[in-house]
Amino acid sequence: MGRPTNVMDLFRLDDARALVTGASRGIGKAVAEALADAGCDLALTARTLPALEDTVRAVEERGRKAVVLDGDLARPGVAEALVDRASAALGGLDIVVHNAGTLPTAADGSPLMAPLQHARQEDWEAVVAVNLNATAALCRAAYPHLAESSRASLILMSSAAGIVGAPMMEAYAATKAAQISLTRSLAVGWARQGIRVNALCPGWTRTDMTAFASAPGPVSDWLTSHVP
């Protein structure tokens, strides 16, 4: 291989096999597009297959393979099944980006923002099921596949909310902090197998999930005041 002609050549991932959860929109869709640009073939997950149509189109326009998998990570056993199906479809896994996550939501799908003392236990448990329990299950299932790869990488999409105080988002913040702690433990525990483990902690990013924070109002004003 010759010398790279530009800095992006240093980050090529040609023919790597990657799984991206929560790939239908927002950060997950952007991650899938970036990995395709770098040369990856992809397994993409979301709760429903139609939600992945735009991401699949973007990946295939870049000349890469896109496998679509549907599954609700709130349900036991789904995380493990998604990993195994992705590995089977791609012939193994080199990269796993776990981006899927949730906030407490109302019946219409809008986020529920409430301080802990007024929040419902069922909302807490729903966030823990997706953001923490499914994360652990997915990592456990991914391990044997990544251990067989010579360039294995696991990335958990945490949040700045896991690092700083996040009033009215206690369940989300607690689970994102747990993801950071899990990342540190796995990075040490899996190092001898050559598996790199990292967490990314985005701040407020304009996506469908955070659209409520873009509207005028006291919540939006408080949140955006913390963005430089």
- Calculate helix-pair angle for 53-61, 26-37, nearest 10 degrees: 20
Active site (annotated) includes residue 185: no
- Catalytic residue, chosen from 24, 143, 158, 176, is 176
- Catalytic residue, chosen from 172, 214, 220, 225, is 172
Active site (annotated) includes residue 214: no
- The residues pairing with 157 across neighbouring beta strands, listed in sequence order, are 200
Active site (annotated) includes residue 143: no
Q: What angle do CA 203, 204, 210 make, to 5 degrees?
A: 140
- Catalytic residue, chosen from 87, 153, 158, 159, is 159
Structure tokens at 197: 């483990």
- The residues pairing with 199 across neighbouring beta strands, listed in sequence order, are 156
Q: With the C-alpha atoms ordered 44, 48, 214, 179, is the resulting torsion angle positive or negative? A: negative
Q: With the C-alpha atoms ordered 74, 79, 85, 89, is the resulting torsion angle positive or negative? A: positive
What count of other Cβ atoms lies within 10 Å of the Cβ of residue 106?
9
Residues known to be catalytic? 159, 172, 176
